[in-house]
Structure 1
Amino acid sequence: MTEQIGTNAGLVWEVLRASKKPMTDKEIKSATKISTLRDVHFALGWLSREDKLVFEEGAGVTVRLK
């Protein structure tokens, strides 16, 4: 499972790197084709632990790279 989380974290990082705007977890799921929001959240946790993300709160929570 840890290997899959790391792989998904790489997919999320690539999508966020290419994005011109912060993204929601659902937008990330759609762009990466990761199968579940739970798996997206695991990947976001991985990247967050590596201090690579900024979470922004507004109408909802969005994520962007630092």
Structure 2
Amino acid sequence: MVGDIGKKAGKVWRALNIWDELPTSKLIKLTDLKEEELFSALGWLAREGKVELTSKGWKLK
């Protein structure tokens, strides 16, 4: 399960790396993840200090 979350975090990181800042709804569409999977991946990235939530959405630090 941990490896699976890491792979999903990689998908989220790649999407944010390409599109810079995205709202949650757009991240779900671009990564083809379920909402729960997306938030697990974002939690993983946030714990590593790699993402932040802004007024417009999520972005890489």
TM-score, normalising length from structure 2? Answer: 0.90
* Offset at residue 33 of structure 1 (A): 1.1
Aligned residue in 2 for 1:5: 5
CA distance in 1, matches of 2:44, 2:10: 10
* Offset at residue 52 of structure 1 (A): 0.5
Aligned residue in 2 for 1:45: 43
1:12-27 matches, within 5 Å, as 12-20=12-20, 22-27=21-26
Counterpart of 1:31, as a letter, is L
Counterpart of 1:49, as a letter, is R
Superposition RMSD in Å: 1.2
Where relative contact order (Cα < 8 A, 6+ residues apart) is larger, the structure is 2
Counterpart of 2:8, as a letter, is N
Structure 2: tracts of 5 or more residues without a match: none
- How many residue pairs end up in the alignment? 61
CA distance in 1, matches of 2:44, 2:3: 11
Extract structure 1 runs of 4+ deviating beyond 2 A.
none
Counterpart of 2:57, as a letter, is T
Aligned residue in 1 for 2:30: 31
TM-score, normalising length from structure 1? Answer: 0.84
Give the fraction of aligned pairs with identical amino acids, expressed as a percent: 31
